[in-house]
């Protein structure tokens, strides 16, 4: 089934002069979860989405995309995955269907096609939202605009030749959308590793710039590693208890895949089968790409992290006396013979580059001093020091799953409960319809 475009049915209403107790900015899984949690507490609110609900899953994933996390971890508030493959990995169109079904279930007071372009708070503590459909106000605002805003590209001395097509991971669909020829994939985090593999499986010659992202095995000792980590309580650990504390928020995700029922991504095996691997890309000058001589170290590091996770699982099995089959450890199937630090583009058939080196958060539209020196919001479990302003859906906002399907619901319940008690509402549940009386464009 092809992914369908859900366009707003009507032009957005004029929001000029509208006031709501709560306005949620963003209609992805976080915004919809927030709406559900506010609605069941009888808190009147509005959700503003600049595109369509679930837009990023619909439009910013590649054709063969599937979840890296198992389906059972899809547990949006009051709407857990209910299909017959809890240990499988939904493909893109199934994820979109899950979100569309959630939207129907929540029936949020949602206005699509409206972007919030400026957010301020006046002297009386009222939030002013300048939107593409007029200026409105709110007593409280929940920012649920995702954690991946502006794609990053490496700063190079000279631009790549004009003939080389460059795309960002969020715009990559498949090799069919790239010109014939070899492809340079820059970055080996979750997206880069999967996109490189996608092209490699398609038969393209792939050059992959490997960064310091860790990897994790898909299965170990008879179970998905996710299941073991869940049993060990890892997904309940708050950021305040993590050994790296808030620094973990900037950590690259471990690469692994849900493709073909789930398996490891072994870059060494891909290299043995013809994929070209390099260390970190540092520059492009006079037609030559320059790389750091750190490929060996990066591959070793990724394996070490994966093996250390297995050590932790072994310890858990031992201490709990769990009956689990013994499994041999990973053996490297390929090692770089030498570090390649230069590559003349003219000596390759590279015709396109896919950038997968991450995203920068972009909150320039918020004129309220709640950001740290790196432009990220300062908060405790999403609650900022500015009364009434919260964030939801960010990686490690509270737990590992906060920026994912598994943990966003727990955070939404927390924020909604705070908002309910601040507003002096006592009824939890039972008044869920109150918002729809006020629904605009949903
Ligand atoms: C490549 C990739 C793979 C992932 N794989 C998994 C996985 O396997 N499992 C998992 O659980 N999670 C995964 N995630 C993480 C997470 O689930 C997604 O990022 C998810 O989209 C986050 O949902 P969200 O609602 O927080 O943000 P988003 O989906 O980004 O939604 C934010 C919404 O806000 C809107 N918006 C932004 N700014 C404004 C504005 N100023 N005004 C109005 N609207 C605005 C946007 O249009 C968007 O629709 C993955 C993420 C990526 C990028």
What tens digit of pLDDT does each residue of 261-283 get?
999 999 999 999 999 999 999 99
What region, left, alpha or beta, does residue 370 occupy, with left being phi > 0 and alpha being psi -120 to 50 degrees? alpha
Can you read off the two tokens belonging to residue 80? 């857990």
What region, left, alpha or beta, does residue 312 occupy, with left being phi > 0 and alpha being psi -120 to 50 degrees? alpha
The CA distance from 171 to 166, in Å, is 10
Is the shortest distance between the CB of 59 and ligand 1 below 6 Å? no
Q: Is the pLDDT of residue 149 over 80?
A: yes
For the CA atoms of 110, 113, 114, 115, the dihedral, rounded to the nearest 10 degrees, stands at 120
The CA distance from 186 to 192, in Å, is 7
Q: In sequence order, what DSSP letters do the residues of 1-16 get, joined into one string?
A: -PPPP---SSPPPP-T
What tens digit of pLDDT does each residue of 345-402 get?
999 999 999 999 999 999 999 999 999 988 999 999 999 999 999 999 999 999 999 9
Please tell me the distance between residue 28's alpha carbon and the centre of ligand 1 in angstroms: 6
Is there a contact between 353 and 164 (Cβ–Cβ < 8 Å)? Answer: yes
The CA distance from 345 to 289, in Å, is 7
Under DSSP, the state recorded for 245 is G
Angle among Cα 164, 165, 166 to the nearest 5 degrees reads 115
The pLDDT value recorded for residue 324 is: 98
Q: Give residues with Cβ within 8 angstroms of 272, minimum separation 6.
A: 333, 334
What tens digit of pLDDT does each residue of 389-435 get?
999 999 999 999 999 999 999 999 999 999 999 988 765 544 333 33
Closest by CA to 392, choosing from 54, 145, 49, 74, is 145
The pLDDT value recorded for residue 400 is: 94
What residues pair up with 166 in beta bridges, in sequence order?
Answer: 353
Identify which of 88, 148, 391 to mutate to test ligand 1's pocket (most ligand atoms within 8 A of the CB).
148
Cβ-based neighbour number of residue 108 at 10 Å: 28
Which residue has a Cα nearest atom 13 of ligand 1? 404
- H or E stretch including 34? helix 29-39
* pLDDT-based confidence at residue 74 (cuts at 50, 70, 90): very high
The CA distance from 346 to 14, in Å, is 55
What tens digit of pLDDT does each residue of 211-238 get?
999 999 999 999 999 999 999 999 999 9
> SS3 for 248?
helix
Is the shortest distance between the CB of 404 and ligand 1 below 6 Å? yes
Is the shortest distance between the CB of 388 and ligand 1 below 6 Å? no
For the CA atoms of 232, 235, 238, 241, the dihedral, rounded to the nearest 10 degrees, stands at 30
Per-residue pLDDT averaged across 22-47, rounded?
98
The pLDDT value recorded for residue 10 is: 65
Q: Give residues with Cβ within 8 angstroms of 204, minimum separation 6.
A: 175, 182, 183
Alpha-helix runs per DSSP H in 107-222:
190-201
Mean pLDDT lowest among 75-84, 169-178, 382-391, 430-439 = 430-439
Per-residue pLDDT averaged across 227-250, rounded?
93
Q: What is the pTM of this model?
A: 0.94
Q: In sequence order, what DSSP letters do the residues of 77-130 get, joined into one string?
A: TTEE--SS-TTS--BHHHHHHHHHHHHHHH---EEES--EEEEEE-TTS-EEEE
Q: Is the pLDDT of residue 441 over 50?
A: no
The pLDDT value recorded for residue 250 is: 86
Is the shortest distance between the CB of 396 and ligand 1 below 6 Å? no
**Residue matched to tokens 């002297």:** 123
The pLDDT value recorded for residue 308 is: 97
The CA distance from 383 to 392, in Å, is 9
Let me know if 430 is exposed, middle or buried by CB neighbors in 10 A (0-12, 13-18, 19+). exposed
Is there a contact between 172 and 195 (Cβ–Cβ < 8 Å)? Answer: yes
The pLDDT value recorded for residue 423 is: 87
Is the shortest distance between the CB of 235 and ligand 1 below 6 Å? no
Is the shortest distance between the CB of 116 and ligand 1 below 6 Å? yes
Start-to-end CA span in the chain (Å)? 25
Which residue has a Cα nearest atom 22 of ligand 1? 146
Q: Is the pLDDT of residue 4 over 50?
A: no
Closest by CA to 211, choosing from 235, 190, 233, is 190
Is the shortest distance between the CB of 92 and ligand 1 below 6 Å? no
């Amino acid at each position: 089934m092809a992914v369908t475009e859900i366009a707003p049915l009507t032009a957005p209403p004029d929001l000029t002069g509208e006031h709501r107790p709560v306005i949620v900015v963003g209609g992805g899984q976080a915004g919809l979860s927030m709406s559900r949690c506010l609605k069941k507490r009888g808190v009147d609110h509005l959700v503003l989405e600049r595109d369509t609900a679930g837009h990023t899953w619909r439009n910013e994933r590649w054709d063969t995309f599937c979840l890296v996390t198992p389906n059972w971890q899809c547990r949006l508030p009051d709407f857990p995955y209910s299909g017959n493959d809890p240990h499988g990995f939904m493909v893109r169109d199934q994820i979109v269907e899950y979100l569309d079904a959630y939207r129907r279930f929540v029936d949020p007071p949602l206005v699509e096609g409206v972007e919030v372009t400026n957010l301020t708070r006046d002297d009386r503590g009222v939030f002013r939202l300048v939107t593409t459909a007029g200026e409105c106000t709110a007593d409280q605002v929940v920012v649920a605009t995702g954690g991946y805003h502006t794609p990053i590209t490496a700063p190079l001395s000279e631009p790549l030749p004009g003939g080389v097509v460059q795309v960002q991971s969020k715009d990559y669909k498949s090799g069919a959308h790239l010109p014939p020829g070899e492809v340079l994939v820059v970055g080996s985090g979750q997206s880069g590793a999967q996109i490189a593999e996608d092209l490699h499986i398609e038969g393209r010659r792939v050059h992959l710039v490997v960064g310091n992202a860790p990897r994790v095995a898909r299965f170990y000792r008879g179970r998905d590693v996710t299941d073991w980590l869940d049993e060990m309580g890892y997904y309940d650990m708050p950021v305040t208890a993590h050994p790296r504390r808030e620094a973990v928020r900037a950590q690259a995700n471990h690469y692994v895949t849900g493709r073909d029922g789930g398996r490891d991504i072994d870059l060494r095996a891909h290299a043995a089968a013809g994929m070209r691997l390099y260390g970190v890309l540092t520059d492009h000058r006079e037609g030559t790409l320059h790389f750091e001589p750190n490929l060996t170290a990066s591959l070793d590091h990724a394996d070490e992290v994966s093996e250390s996770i297995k050590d932790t699982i072994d310890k858990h099995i031992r201490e709990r006396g769990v009956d689990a089959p013994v499994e041999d450890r990973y053996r490297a199937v390929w090692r770089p013979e030498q570090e390649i630090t230069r590559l003349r583009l003219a000596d390759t058939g590279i015709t396109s580059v896919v950038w997968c080196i991450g995203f920068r958060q972009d909150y320039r539209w918020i004129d309220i001093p709640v950001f740290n020196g790196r432009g990220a919001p300062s908060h405790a479990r999403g609650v900022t020091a500015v009364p009434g302003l919260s964030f939801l859906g960010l990686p490690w906002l509270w737990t590992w799953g906060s920026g994912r399907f598994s943990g966003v619901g727990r955070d939404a319940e927390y924020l909604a409960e705070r908002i309910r008690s601040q507003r002096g509402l006592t009824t939890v549940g039972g008044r869920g319809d109150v918002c729809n009386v006020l629904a605009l464009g949903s």
